Chain A
Amino acid sequence: MIIANPQNQAMKSNTPLLVSLASAILSVVPAQATVPENYITVNAKVSYQQGEIYSGSNARAVGGTVKGVLGTLRISTKDLLKVLADDLAITLPKGARFLHYNGGTFLTASAKGDPNTMWIVDKDGNTIANVSSYFNLYFNLYSLIYEGKYNFENGDENTKNRFPFEIMFDYYIYGGSPALQARGSSSSMGVYLQGNGVIKEDFHAKQKDFEYKASNTGKGDGYVVGYVGDNVKRGLEGANAMGYFSIRFNGEQVYFDE
């Protein structure tokens, strides 16, 4: 992903003093820049309360039994793309993928607009659809910790970073978000999950003459909780759900600073 926009320099504001100092000393590259746009993959395994089977219609009164039944489903990137494409009534080209713009801690917005947005793009990064309302991430770079080196003189950086992140997935088949509908409506069905995790990121940056190149790869794991609303007919609006997920991401940034 090439962003020819020198205003798009990143600052991880967990180190305001360091950043301010770096900015004052060196106006070109702030300390600990990061890559604003990343290709994302995700997979998850989610279990939910699929139902409860009572031993009889009068089981509670006569000391019967109830058997809990769990359902489990998996979410992969390809499958998620398929579900969202169906919902948006679009046909995705081969190699379409998710691109996350993590501009939450950046000084200015990029061409993608608001920070923390999720996009479906083609394999070359061209925008197909904004799917932020369905699936999104928030990289909490304010809480970043790191090890490695940043060179104030030439802008080179090789760091291993860790930071928390949040994930949200909200897909409804009908009736609006099950999480919202569960608070009042009687007709909804879908999946709503949110969760947290920790990311480990490898970040590299190099500046030569006026060209600045940065790249990163990372992986994050965490848990989600929420609802899988397939018990609508039995009045259990949005059955409790929980599970684990992991994401991987990678990005590149190149810009020229004159």
Chain B
Amino acid sequence: MTRSTSLALGGVALLVAVIAGYRIVPRGGEDPPAAAAPAAHATAKARPVNEPAGGSAIVKVAVADMPDPQLSPHTAGSEAHEAWVKERSKELLELAWNDDRESMLEIVTELRNPDPEIREVAEDATREFSSRDAIPVLQAMVAADLTAEQKAACHKLIEWLELPTLSEHVAEQRRLHPPPADADK
């Protein structure tokens, strides 16, 4: 893909996003940190954005355009593999402290990882990332060719992310029930 083609695709995606009322954080043109992803994941990709029928604007992400899960180069069950899983798990959980889209995608894509330990960590990291921006990505993954177990994990995460957060709950309760005059706080 030439630079001009990339720019053109990026422009189209941005225009659609503006129409849909969403701000897209483009991945294109930025390589993820070398320590966080291998070179194979560093390819800049235009992100297709669709506005679904029904009026509600949802940013859809094609699974094919997501970064690939990182696979262990070691034999399953070996000490080297265990060390790799530990290190990768640490990376994913650390990424969960961020708030950017790239970090979210790198976490969520690991729900497709063939290694069940990595998938389990990715589930927790998705919860820790705690952003509803992950919901359209998870929905796209559910529609893709995943195993039943992987789809179930995505469904669980969608359900969890759709719940009101504690801070939203507190804000709502403050609105509905303002403190009485004799409240001590």
Is B182's beta carbon under 8 Å from chain A?
A: yes
Majority secondary structure of chain B interface residues (helix, strand, loop or mixed): helix
Q: Once the chains are docked, how many angstroms separate the CA of A173 from the CA of B90?
A: 35
Contact of A78 among B124, B130, B177 (CB under 8 A): B130
B168 CB to nearest A CB, Å: 8
A41 / chain B contacts, CB cutoff of 8 Å? 93, 96, 124, 128
Q: Once the chains are docked, how many angstroms separate the CA of A219 from the CA of B123?
A: 13
How many residues on B have C-beta within 8 angstroms of the other chain's C-beta atoms? Answer: 31
Interface size class of A (residues with CB under 8 A): 35 or more
Is B165's beta carbon under 8 Å from chain A?
A: yes
Contact between chains at B86 and A43 (CB < 8 Å):
no
Q: Once the chains are docked, how many angstroms separate the CA of A34 from the CA of B51?
A: 53
Stretch of A23-31, A79-87, A143-151 that contacts chain B: A79-87
Q: Once the chains are docked, how many angstroms separate the CA of A82 from the CA of B170?
A: 11
Contact between chains at B167 and A83 (CB < 8 Å):
yes
Contact of A172 among B96, B166, B167, B185 (CB under 8 A): B185
Is A130's beta carbon under 8 Å from chain B?
A: no
Contact between chains at B128 and A76 (CB < 8 Å):
yes
Is B54's beta carbon under 8 Å from chain A?
A: no
Known: A76-B127, A175-B183. Is A232-B177 also a contact (CB below 8 A)? yes
Provide the A167-187 mask, 1 if CB < 8 A to any CB of B, else 0.
000011111100000000001
Known: A95-B97, A175-B179. Is A76-B130 also a contact (CB below 8 A)? yes
B174 CB to nearest A CB, Å: 6
A97 / chain B contacts, CB cutoff of 8 Å? 97
Is A248's beta carbon under 8 Å from chain B?
A: yes
Contact between chains at B124 and A248 (CB < 8 Å):
yes
Contact between chains at A78 and B179 (CB < 8 Å):
no
Is A72's beta carbon under 8 Å from chain B?
A: yes
Known: A175-B179, A175-B185. Is A79-B165 also a contact (CB below 8 A)? yes
Is B173's beta carbon under 8 Å from chain A?
A: yes
Known: A79-B165, A173-B185, A174-B184. Is A248-B93 also a contact (CB below 8 A)? yes
Provide the B148-179 mask, 1 if CB < 8 A to any CB of A, else 0.
00000000000011011111111001101101
